[in-house]
Amino acid sequence: MERGRREVLHGVSFEVPRGMILGLLGPSGCGKTTLMRSVVGVQVVAGGTVTVLGEPAGGPGLRAKVGYSTQSPAVYDDLTVAENLAYFASVLGAPRGDVGRVLGEVGLGGAAGQVARTLSGGQRSRAGLAVALLGSPELLVLDEPTVGLDPVLRNELWELFHRLTAERGMTLMVSSHVMDEASRCDRLLLMREGEILADDSPGALRRRTGTDDLEKAFLRLVAERERAADGAERPGPGNGAGERP
Partner 1 sequence: MSIPITLATARRILTQLRHDRRTVGMMVLVPTLVMALLYYVIGDQRSFNAWTPVLLCVFPFLVMFLVTSVATLRERTSGTLERLMASPLGKLDLLLGYGLAFGLMAAVQVALVLAVSLTWLGFELGGPVWPLVVVALGNALLGIALGLLCSAFARTEFQAVQFMPVVMIPQLLLGGILVPRDRMATVLEWISNVLPMSYAIEAMKLAVAGAGGDFWRDMAVVAGSAVLALVLGAATLRRRTP
Type of residue at 232: A
Please select the residue that binds partner 1; options are 20, 64, 112, 222, rule is CB under 8 A: 64
Binding mask 76-105 for partner 1 (x = CB under 8 A): xxxx---x---xx-xxxx------------
Least Å distance between CB 44 and partner 1?
A: 5
Stretch that binds partner 1, among 25-33, 71-79, 165-173, 181-189 (CB under 8 A): 71-79
The residue among 69 and 176 lying less far from partner 1, judged by its C-beta, is 69
Residue (131 or 197) nearer to partner 1, CB: 131
DSSP assignment of 222-239: HHHHHHHHHHHHS--TT-
Cα 181-89-162 angle, rounded to 5 deg: 25
Q: Which of 202, 205, 130 is nearest to 164 (CA)?
A: 130
Q: From residue 8, how far is each of 1, 3, 95, 157 by CA, in Å?
A: 6, 6, 38, 29
* Only segment of 24-32, 62-70, 166-174, 225-233 that touches partner 1 (CB under 8 A): 62-70
The residue range among 55-63, 151-159, 160-168, 176-184 that interacts with partner 1, by the rule CB under 8 A, is 55-63
The count of C-alpha atoms lying within 13 angstroms of the C-alpha of 35, restricted to the half-sphere facing its C-beta, is 32
23 binds partner 1 (CB under 8 A): no
